[in-house]
Amino acid sequence: MSQTDYQGKLDEFRKYIRKIKHYEEAVGLIYWDLRTGAPKKGASERSEVIGELSTEAFRLSVSDQMGGYLDFFSDAARIEELDETNRRIVQEAKKEFDRSKKIPPEKYQDYVVLTSKAESAWEEAKEKNDFAMFQPYLEKIVETNLEFVELWGYKGHKYNTLLDMYEPGMTVEKLDEVFGALRSEVVPLLAEIKKAPQPDRSFLRQTFDKEKQKHFSLFILKELGYDFEAGRLDETVHPFATGLNPGDVRITTRYLPEDATSALFGTIHECGHALYEQNISEDLIGTNLCTGTSMGIHESQSRFWENMVGRSREFWSRYYADLQRTFPGQFDNVSEEAFYRAINHTEPSLIRIEADELTYNLHIMIRYELEKALFSGELKVADLPEAWNAKYREYLGIEADTNAEGVLQDVHWAGGSFGYFPSYALGNMYAAQFTNTLRKEIPAFDELLAKGDFAPIKQFLVENIYRYGKSQTPNEIVRRVTGEDLNPQYLVDYLKDKYKPLYGLS
């Protein structure tokens, strides 16, 4: 085959991949609309539309035409002719093809429709505190995922196959190891903190005007470098970010009238996701590499900006006066130090998304262990509420009075996202490890935060993480940036260095 014919074949393949991405972008836009204010009566039909378009993208990804392209480019000699980016595009497409080809298209469509309807059912069940209303959907979702795992195949624990979808290369064995190391340090530290004098937080529990909350959130987003020409901020029940393409990355938040910090830190969190997606290399647009490399690496960025930056003393030395001006009279008698201590207060709580840095990982470990049990057959969906409460008693010493604050608090299971939750704790570990490197590479890190000059920090992340999209694996990125594999000790050290001085512990 001549070089001209070879390049023509490659161009055809890239165009085919781009077509699939266009379908996925359309689905993403419809999903965003469904979660940000679409009329409730249209939810059922909208779910059918999502199912139809998703299935068409699915059919394209497992078609004979796709198989032909992959057979052609996967040939040992031909794949060596590809540059690194195109080689990754082929490898990623083949991985998806080999996995998806095992799922009948009609079963896939049924599943997409099921999860879309389940998310609406979950919203209503949470509002009414009625797990029984949601239970049939969740049972069917778990059952279908178990069928999928059998079709895909698995090594070791069945849950490993689901983990790999969100964090390539991650296994139950590795998670048990890093979670165990983290838990052994966090639980004793939390016990020490419980005995120490607690900071005053009463001033955080006032009535805060929603429009002022929105104004301040928009201000902080601009300061951090979120590009509003490539995104927007909207309101939803459960905050999320959606990257349609680097030029359209939308984030959402939730405003609580009695808490100005919930929306603020939620917005900064989603901003971290968005900064990643907005800064993927233009060369990857329209390819299957134009997204974050994994949920764990993605989460590392939201947690980095929310916690390592947004909850730092240096950040508030720059922005506390702006907060006081935004809410006149409400923080006038609260010192900057008192505010810093209050927003970094730690204690066991029921709601994951409002948990502090120290206890957050325990919330994730609970969900991880419940998911593992569901897929090993040790736990039934009907027994989830009881098992949930038992784990919260064991790990955090508290129990939810309602299922709305307990097993129904997260949307993830309604969407079938089993294997996703561990990425949050992995993200915390990655974030601490990246921060350790950032401090070495940028000695003036704290000074930059205190000046509100985030450009050098953002640029480091763009150059070392963001621009690569999915063209490198999580472990390749971690090893290249930090010089070693994932190491939970960096998060342990970060938490101790932060919380021991806060609570006067030696």
> Is 299 part of any known ligand binding site?
yes
172-502 CATH pick, 1.10.1370.30, 2.40.50.100, 3.30.70.20, 1.10.1060.10: 1.10.1370.30
Question: Which range among 2-11, 228-237, 321-330, 365-374 shows the weakest confidence by mean pLDDT?
Answer: 2-11
Q: Across-strand partners of 233?
A: 251
Q: How far is CA 201 from CA 144, 418, 505, in A?
A: 45, 35, 20
pLDDT for the residue numbered 21: 97
Question: In sequence order, what are the beta bridge partners of 256?
Answer: 259
pLDDT higher than 90, residue 75: no
pLDDT of 145 reads 97
Write the burial class of residue 40 (CB in 10 Å: 0-12 exposed, 13-18 middle, 19+ buried): exposed
CA dist 31 and 46 (Å) reads 9
Q: Report the candidate in 376, 408, 472, 453 with the shortest Cα–Cα distance to residue 157.
A: 376
pLDDT band at 447 (very low <50, low <70, confident <90, very high): very high
Q: Where are the domains of the chain?
A: 3-153, 172-502
DSSP codes of every residue in 375-394: HHTS--GGGHHHHHHHHHHH
Confidence bin at 51 (pLDDT 50/70/90)? confident
Return all residues near 465 (Cβ < 8 A) that are at least 6 apart. Answer: 276, 297, 301, 434, 477, 481
Output b/e per residue, 483-492; b: 16+ Cβ within 10 A. Answer: eeebbbebbb
Structure confidence at residue 423 as a pLDDT band (50, 70, 90): very high
Reduced to 3 states (helix: H, G, I; strand: E, B; else coil), residue 142 is helix
Catalytic residue among 24, 119, 123, 270: 270
Q: How far apart are CA 491 and CA 494, in angstroms?
A: 5
Specify which residues 243 forms β-bridges with: 249
Question: Do strands 248-253 and 233-235 pair parallel, antiparallel, or not at all (unpaired)?
Answer: parallel
Q: Do strands 241-245 and 248-253 pair parallel, antiparallel, or not at all (unpaired)?
A: antiparallel
Q: How many CB atoms lie within 10 A of CB 300?
A: 32
Q: Is the pLDDT of residue 322 over 90?
A: yes
475 Cβ partners below 8 Å, 6+ apart? 169, 485, 486
Mean pLDDT across 310-323: 98
Domain 3-153 bears CATH identifier 1.20.58:
yes
Examine the residue annotation and report whether 447 is marked as an active-site residue of this protein: no
Confidence bin at 461 (pLDDT 50/70/90): very high
Residue in 301, 300, 289, 329 with CA at minimum distance from that of residue 224: 301
Sheet with 248-253, side-by-side order of all strands: 233-235, 248-253, 241-245
pLDDT of residue 295: 94
**How do residues 349-377 score in pLDDT, each as one tens digit?**
999 988 999 999 999 999 999 999 999 99
Angle between helices 357-376 and 172-195 (to 10 degrees): 140
The model's pLDDT over 86-120, given as tens digits with 9 standing for 90+, comes to: 999 999 999 999 998 999 988 988 999 999 899 98
Three-state SS annotation for 223-243: HHCCCHHHCCEEECCCCCEEE
Q: What is the pTM of this model?
A: 0.91
Is 269 labelled a binding residue?
A: yes
pLDDT at residue 54, as a whole number? 92
Q: How confident is the model at residue 493 (pLDDT cuts 50, 70, 90)?
A: very high
User: Shortest CA distance to 21 belongs to which of 285, 273, 416?
Assistant: 285
- Mean pLDDT computed over 288-311: 97
Q: Which amino acid is at 309?
A: V
Identify residue 141 by its one-letter amino acid code: I
Q: How far apart are CA 174 and CA 156, in angstroms?
A: 12
Provide the pLDDT for residue 1. Answer: 65
pLDDT of residue 18: 97
DSSP-derived 3-state class of residue 251: strand
- 298 is an annotated ligand-binding site residue: no
Enter the tokens of residue 94: 């083949």
For tokens 């779910």, the residue is 47
Mean pLDDT of 282-290: 97
Specify the pLDDT at position 275. 98
Question: pLDDT, tens digit, for every residue of 152-199?
Answer: 999 999 999 999 999 999 999 999 999 999 999 999 999 999 999 999
> What percent of the chain shows pLDDT beyond 90?
89
**Mean predicted lDDT score pLDDT of the chain:** 95
What integer is the mean pLDDT of 258-284? 96
The mean pLDDT of 192-207, rounded to a whole number, is 94
H-helix segments, 279-335? 295-303, 313-326
Token readout for 164 is 């790999």
